[in-house]
Amino acid sequence: MSQISNGNGRQSIRNPNPPIEDSVFKSLRLDGRTVIITGGCGGIGYEVARGLAEAGANLALWYHSSQNAAKLSAKIASDFSVTVKTYQVDVRDNTQVEATVDKVVQDFGRLDVMIANAGIPTKAGGLDDTIEDWNNVRAIDFDGAYYSVRAAGRVFRKQKRGVGIITASMSGHAANVPQEQTCYNACKAGCIHLAKSLSVEWAKWGGRINSVSPGYIDTAISGDCPFEMKEEWYSLTPLKRDADPRELKGIYLYLASDASLPIVDLNSCNGCTEAITASIYSELFFSLTFDGATVMASQVERDAKIVGTAIAEVLPRSDKYWFQQPHLLRLNLLLLIPLLSSSVSGYDGSLMNGLQSLHQWREYFDHPQGEVLGLVNAAQSIGSVLALPFVGTLSDKFGRKPVLLSGIIMICIASALQAASVNYAMFVVSRVVVGFGGMFVVQPSPMLIAELAYPTHRGKYTSAFWTLYYLGAILASWTTFGTQVYEGAVSWRLPSALQACFPLVQLVFFWWLPESPRWLVAQERTQEASAILTKYHDPCTDDSPLINLELSEIVETIQREKSADTTGWSALVSTPGNRKRTFIAVCTGLMAQWNGIGVVSYYLTLVLDTVGITDTFDQTLINGLLQIFNFGAALSAAFLVDRLGRRVLFLWSGLGMLVSYIIWTACSAVNSDTGSKSAGIVVVVCLFTYFFHYDIAWTPLLFGYPTEIFPYSLRSKGIAVELFAIYGSLIIAAFANPIGLENIGWKYYIVFCVLLVIFFFITYFLFPETKGYSLEEIACIFDGEQADIVEHAPRETYKLGKKSSEGAAHMEQV
């Protein structure tokens, strides 16, 4: 249970308020949900069914002996374009009730609401009434209600969500006159307390159960009452009439919908006690309990802001953290394998900073400067660009895993060559091979993460991908810091060899990593995809609504993309939406390298030289501390991406980097003119503040954002385009930055101040927010009505090779 402060530093056990839907109309919608209504083909049950169908619910109407069940259900289906099925059930028989609940779940793929409405008001319980009458009324009015909510409650408990509503009566509050119906009154009082008692149990796992107590209602049952009895009713009713059953629809809809999320023990009574009874318009008695359901409801609301309402509603609910659930713990540990891919690039970036600080390395390679130094730093980027024409196509054709494996092996070999280099040419060539293999590691990894991750974890994990860049950077920087004390080539050969560290870890655990379900579906291996999703997303629920919905979205989206022939390279610019995606990908790659980061990442030594910090110990220490700081900042931002959103982080980052660079430039100028030591210290501080603002957006979102915005058919090629922009700009920067720093010094920073202003406005006007959408739904942002996505289950579901469409209006009698 989360705690909040009461304002004076003390912690309260009070739960936080859940997010509130601004639109009351949206909170009352039931689109795609399945509702069982017992006694659903007559009187109150039928009108409630029509009300819930109007709100978008699919219905399972239970009846005992109605002759009009088929006709009535067909009428509802036709009027509201929802799925309606009828089931003949004797609610007195618990075995029938349980079997029919299972049948409904099988037919609809889900169950969201149970309305236990069946009941009879037969005279029973008097001194002269028969025991048979007593048992019959009790079996229907009380036992039947219990059997119904019990069977449904077991389904709800598995999925950690669900709503129960019991139709009680004002007779459960008062012994109404003049009719004598002792057993009916006692049973309805029992129903009211049944709901109250069950609400305590249900609230623990996210369920809600309430009861409704109608007053006198004009139905076929009351139509047989004598005139004199009705007149006595009217004399005791303020509005002098009984209510139409259509007037009850609102309270049932309210209790069945998200509008009543915090309500876990309510009895809405249409009358009061003894001599004063009333119609539906009179006093409502509310007994409200705010309990664990509030927390569960707020979880649904929070998840909806991350992945959208449809996915959020079918996510399994648990009171355990993800690391306490074996399937999620196993999945998230396996995702560390592709997550470590970014550490390869991070190691390289910090390695070259560290090596340039080592006099042993500079002496061994004859003090490289200018273009010669630029080529060493650009070699890895050159290798990456050489791999780009192949890696996207290979990822789509052979799968994400084989491409990742080939890259791991190449880096291990190249690291050995780099550590064994005997001359400048061999060192450069080994770094080209590192870059070539690095592309095979980096390109498929964010796609594999996004396509495997649990829905609510996707944003955090795709953002965390490039965050682990700094894990490699930390190892490289502190390795060179430690080896500076060694004389001879070992001081730089050891850090060069350790570049294979992360690929070797990946290689050991690679064999347990699953393939992308989306790639498997694209290869028409749907059963394998379903098995992976079930194993890692929801292995605890039979016929999981989450897996059905995920698989349905993937299958239908990929089928539509294939039929539309949107898989070639030309498709990247074939539509307005794709042109915008591609433009964003190119801008992301260029801006991530030309916002000033390249000056620090590869040329920290030269930057520190310009402000008088030239000692090897000081430079390697600053480099090591900077990488630790970067890792903490970037990792924190990765966990905030779903809370703050992508745009907020991008814009905050842009402003912060601009301010930091302006101060950095000014202090560098002062230090250059006056030799001020304090100005040099400020420059070092600005380095950290600049990196903080870079890290909160451009580290977690560099690959996380473009991976999200491209549809499956173009995701691999879109990432390849972004990588081309990244490494193409890196090659240019690798040559331009050392020349600019050596020739014009601090004035070179002004170029990046101007570029940061331009980049801020590009981000502001062109980068849309993707928070709150599933991976497939993001297409709507770019393609509008032409988006290749599907309606959500259960209107369309896909289960292991068989498709069932339940969106069209139809009725099936069982």
Contacts with 310 (C-beta within 8 Å, 6 or more apart), sequence order: 32, 549, 774, 792, 793
DSSP structure string for 304-316: HHHH-HHHHHHS-
pLDDT score of 191: 92
In which band, very low, low, confident or very high, does the pLDDT at 667 lie, cut at 50, 70 and 90? confident
Is 598 exposed, middle or buried (CB count within 10 Å of its CB: 0-12, 13-18, 19+)? buried
pLDDT score of 569: 78
pLDDT score of 803: 40
The span from the CA of 141 to the CA of 135, in Å, is 10
Q: Pick the catalytic residue from 73, 148, 169, 463.
A: 169
- Which tokens in the block code for residue 331? 């999945």
Give the residue from 124, 96, 81 showing the smallest Cα distance to 38.
96
pLDDT digits (tens, 9 = 90+) for 787-801: 555 444 333 444 443
**pLDDT higher than threshold 80 for residue 417:** yes
pLDDT digits (tens, 9 = 90+) for 700-756: 888 888 888 888 778 888 888 888 888 788 778 767 777 777 777 778 888 889 999
Domain 24-314 in this protein, CATH class:
alpha beta
Query: Residue 214: phi, psi to the nearest 5?
Result: -65, 155
Contacts with 328 (C-beta within 8 Å, 6 or more apart), sequence order: 322, 454, 457, 536
- Give residue for tokens 């056990």: 13
Query: Mean of the pLDDT values across residues 759-782?
Result: 84
pLDDT score of 656: 92
3-class DSSP state for residue 179?
Answer: coil
- Give residue for tokens 């919608």: 29
Helices and strands: H and E segment counts in the chain: 37, 12
The span from the CA of 751 to the CA of 728, in Å, is 19
Q: Pick the catalytic residue from 184, 252, 603, 749.
A: 184
The span from the CA of 536 to the CA of 449, in Å, is 13
Alpha-carbon separation of residue 37 from 94, 507, 716 (angstroms): 16, 55, 48
Query: Residue 798: phi, psi to the nearest 5?
Result: -135, 115
Q: Pick the catalytic residue from 188, 196, 401, 771.
A: 188
In which band, very low, low, confident or very high, does the pLDDT at 812 lie, cut at 50, 70 and 90? very low
Q: Cα 65–71–72 angle (5° rounding)?
A: 80
Known active-site residue 171: no
pLDDT digits (tens, 9 = 90+) for 75-127: 999 899 999 999 999 999 999 999 999 999 999 989 999 999 998 877 777 78
Q: For the chain, how big is the Rg over CA atoms in Å?
A: 33
The span from the CA of 365 to the CA of 425, in Å, is 10
**pLDDT higher than threshold 70 for residue 157:** yes
pLDDT score of 537: 92
Alpha-carbon separation of residue 189 from 36, 168, 175, 276, 424 (angstroms): 23, 7, 10, 18, 90
pLDDT digits (tens, 9 = 90+) for 136-154: 999 999 999 999 999 999 9
pLDDT digits (tens, 9 = 90+) for 257-299: 888 766 555 555 543 322 222 333 233 333 333 333 444 445 6
In which band, very low, low, confident or very high, does the pLDDT at 807 lie, cut at 50, 70 and 90? very low
pLDDT score of 797: 41
Domain positions in the chain are 24-314, 322-792
Average pLDDT over the chain, rounded to whole? 80
- Bond preceding residue 178 cis, omega within 30 of 0: yes
pLDDT digits (tens, 9 = 90+) for 238-253: 666 666 778 888 889 9
- Residue pair 297/261 in contact by the 8 Å Cβ criterion: yes
CA atoms within 13 A on the CB side of 222: 18
Q: Is 125 left (phi over 0), alpha (psi -120 to 50) or beta?
A: left
Q: Where are the alpha helices (DSSP H) in 645-676?
A: 646-674
Selected residue with higher pLDDT from 434 and 7? 434
Give the residue from 643, 691, 648, 790 showing the smallest Cα distance to 19.
643
Query: Mean of the pLDDT values across residues 538-553?
Result: 83
In which band, very low, low, confident or very high, does the pLDDT at 808 lie, cut at 50, 70 and 90? very low
- Give residue for tokens 């560099």: 702
Known active-site residue 535: no
pLDDT digits (tens, 9 = 90+) for 201-254: 888 888 889 888 887 766 655 556 666 666 665 666 666 666 677 888 888 998
Selected residue with higher pLDDT from 605 and 24? 24
pLDDT digits (tens, 9 = 90+) for 551-602: 888 888 787 767 665 567 788 888 888 899 999 999 998 998 888 887 765 5
pLDDT score of 4: 46
Known active-site residue 677: no
- Give residue for tokens 């009730």: 97
pLDDT score of 1: 40
Q: Which of 53-67, 368-382, 528-542, 640-654 has the lowest mean pLDDT?
A: 368-382
pLDDT score of 548: 87
**pLDDT higher than threshold 60 for residue 699:** yes
pLDDT score of 484: 82
> Which of 3.60.20.40, 1.10.3720.10, 1.20.1740.10, 1.20.1250.20 would CATH assign to domain 322-792?
1.20.1250.20
The span from the CA of 635 to the CA of 639, in Å, is 7
pTM (predicted TM-score): 0.55
Contacts with 119 (C-beta within 8 Å, 6 or more apart), sequence order: 39, 140, 141, 144, 145, 167, 169, 184, 187, 188
Alpha-carbon separation of residue 177 from 43, 212, 654 (angstroms): 22, 20, 75
pLDDT digits (tens, 9 = 90+) for 354-410: 787 788 888 888 887 767 777 887 788 788 888 888 888 898 889 999 999 999 999
